[in-house]
A and B are shown apart, each in its own frame.
Chain A
Amino acid sequence: KAGVTQTPRYLIKTRGQQVTLSCSPISGHRSVSWYQQTPGQGLQFLFEYFSETQRNKGNFPGRFSGRQFSNSRSEMNVSTLELGDSALYLCASSLGNSDGSSEQFFGPGTRLTVL
């Protein structure tokens, strides 16, 4: 079956702009999590959505937001971009069982460069 899809794969933006990234989970998966990967901070959890509701949130400013649609596809938005937002943004999908036991499958990521 098809894996996790992220679009676009690459983005270049300038400071102050906003950006929207998309993640399509594996069919049947209802949970989508987002991570930011940078050389300095490593992999950091942004937020997780399940059935259109945000279930958990990491320690990022309010400029980072997300949503999930009824088909489980998810978007994340970053407003007022800063140079430090340049990163690889990864999403992961899972069945999202409430006991935390579902395996997470990662997409290839979106590489965002802020100039």
Chain B
Amino acid sequence: GDSVTQMEGPVTLSEEAFLTINCTYTATGYPSLFWYVQYPGEGLQLLLKATKADDKGSNKGFEATYRKETTSFHLEKGSVQVSDSAVYFCALSRLDSSYKLIFGSGTRLLVRP
């Protein structure tokens, strides 16, 4: 079945460092790919998405490119801030009526001043 694998955390960075969180997926066909962020005590917020191969999703300085050949959707940011500290989830969904999201295990990011 479909699955998502993302790198184990926590990831600890200094402010202004470069961020990469790896995400790979297993799925037949062409799923849509997402990054969600969860701040302490809150629900999930959609950070960015991509719906087809080679699409680049971007938002708030974060970017991820849908790579069909490597089945990857790595999250990157050029310069992280303390306020980016949160848990990041990679997810996939099929473009059908189920609205079922399959999530990775989450990666906690801690940014130190």
A50–B101 touching, CB < 8 Å: no
B100–A107 touching, CB < 8 Å: no
A90 beta carbon closer than 8 Å to chain B:
yes
Number of A-B contacts (CB under 8 A): 69
A48–B106 touching, CB < 8 Å: no
Interface string of A79-115 (1 = CB under 8 A from B): 0000000000010101010111111111111000000
A48–B45 touching, CB < 8 Å: no
How many residues of B sit at the interface, in one of the four size bands? 20 to 34
B29 beta carbon closer than 8 Å to chain A:
no
Chain B interface helix/strand/loop/mixed: loop
CB distance from A32 to the nearest CB of B (A): 9
Give which listed residue, B42, B91, B100, B103, contacts A48 with CB less than 8 A: B100
B69 beta carbon closer than 8 Å to chain A:
no
B106–A98 touching, CB < 8 Å: no
Q: Which residues of A contact B (CB under 8 A)?
A: 4, 31, 33, 35, 42-45, 48, 50, 55-56, 58, 90, 92, 94, 96, 98-109
